[in-house]
A = this chain, B = another copy of it.
Amino acid sequence: MADVAARAGVSLKTVSRVVNNAPHVQPELVERVLAAVAELGFRRNPQASSLRSGQPSATIGLLIEEIANPFYATIAGVVAEIARQNDTMLIIASSEEDPDREQQLLREMCTRRVDGLLVVPAGDDHAFLRAEIELGTPMVFLDRPAGGLIADTVLLDNRGGARDGMRRLLEAGHRRIGILLDSLGVYTMRERLDGAQDALAPAGVPYDTRLVRDGIRGPSAAARVVSEMLDRPDAPTAFFSLNNRITLGVIEELHRRGSDAALLGFDDFDMAGLVPYPLTVIAYDTRELARAAAELLFRRIEGDRSWPRTVVLPTELVARGLAPR
């Protein structure tokens, strides 16, 4: 910058003004400075600038479980777009469901002085972020609540959705309903299981633990569990799958053996049109989840200091068809 000033025959400050489009500079000087900038290939260093002026970094951080997963990719896409609308850069990192890694990545983002943080929690203790929040870094948690922290949160109505789904299966006359879920260590799975149970008592159906199978990690595991359950003498007449990877495996197994058991799934399908038969699901608006969280974060960054709020977004039962008992 000093070189530019010398070449243009002006002071440092004038160069600074021109480079920052500040008003009240003689057009002639502006031209001279711009010419010098071009000749010398000068580029302003925003790091030094924000160091002195104390301006925010115009960067936010997004921590998700796994970028390649379509659910998180959708979230990342929406957040990226809203960040761009706010002239903000976006740093994305994956925790891979590892609490230690989550903590390390969040600390690193804070160290880099991001203006705000969007977090899908992996661990269940986020107390280490309290100091950061008090220091003034806004944070919004989405899809799952933070552990040990009162903070802005945007969630889906997992429990209500699962209750609705179970109710539908009961209305169709089913009494023996297999409930398939991933690890109970995951918040959303616990909520969905609770919701499914909520619907049983009002219908006068006892809760039978033999019909609940957790720890199902993927489609093939789901297919095996379904196969096994259907081979039992008191086989379920319907299945409630608590996420779409499990649903996929159930479809394949039911289709493979030509079973007429009913199936209802949590999470919608992109390719629902290709499924061998109409599938009723509990759907929700992933984009709206991300939008609500990102908008809330930017309101905080703009200075909104009101009490932390928790937003719960509705789910919707999309009835495409369901085998009766």
Give chain B residues whose Cβ lies under 8 Å from the Cβ of A201: none
B91 close to A90 (CB less than 8 A): yes
A41-B131 contact in complex given A67-B73, A251-B274, A252-B273, C-beta closer than 8 Å = yes
Interface centre among A48, A51, A68, A81 (most CB of B within 10 A): A68
Interface-centre pick from A51, A76, A89, A251 (highest chain B CB count, 10 A): A89
- A84 close to chain B: CB less than 8 A: yes
B68 touches A76 (CB 8 A): yes
- Give the distance to chain B from A104, nearest Cβ to Cβ, in Å: 9
Convert A219-240 into 0s and 1s, putting 1 for each residue whose CB lies closer than 8 angstroms to a CB of B.
0000000000000000000000
Asked, given contacts A68-B74, A77-B94, whether A47 binds B41 with beta carbons under 8 Å apart, the answer is no
**Is the Cβ of A89 less than 8 Å from the Cβ of B74?**
no
Chain B, Cβ-Cβ closest to A47: B47
Interface residue? A276 (CB, 8 A): yes
Using CB atoms, name the residue of chain B closest to A68: B77
In contact, A47 and B80 (Cβ under 8 angstroms): no
Residue A92 is within 8 A (CB to CB) of chain B in the complex:
yes
**Cα(A112)–Cα(B68), bound, Å:** 26
Interface size on A, residues (CB 8 A): 47
Q: Tell me, yes or no, whether A271 is within 8 Å of chain B by CB.
A: yes
- Which residue of B is nearest A77, CB measured? B68
Task: Quote the shortest CB–CB distance from A36 to chain B (angstroms).
Answer: 16
Q: Are A70 and B70 in contact (CB under 8 A)?
A: yes
Q: Is A248 an interface residue (CB 8 A)?
A: yes
- Knowing A41-B131, A113-B47, A248-B271, say if A91 contacts B93 (CB, 8 Å): no
A14-65: which have CB < 8 Å to B? Answer: 41, 43-48, 50-51, 57, 59
Residues of B within 8 A of A109 (CB): 89
Q: Is A275 an interface residue (CB 8 A)?
A: yes
Contacts of A271 in B (CB 8 A): 248, 271, 274
27 contacts between A and B (CB under 8 A): A41-B131, A43-B110, A43-B111, A44-B111, A47-B47, A47-B57, A47-B113, A48-B51, A67-B73, A67-B77, A67-B80, A69-B73, A70-B70, A70-B73, A73-B73, A76-B76, A77-B94, A80-B93, A81-B94, A84-B105, A89-B108, A89-B112, A90-B92, A248-B271, A252-B273, A274-B274, A276-B276
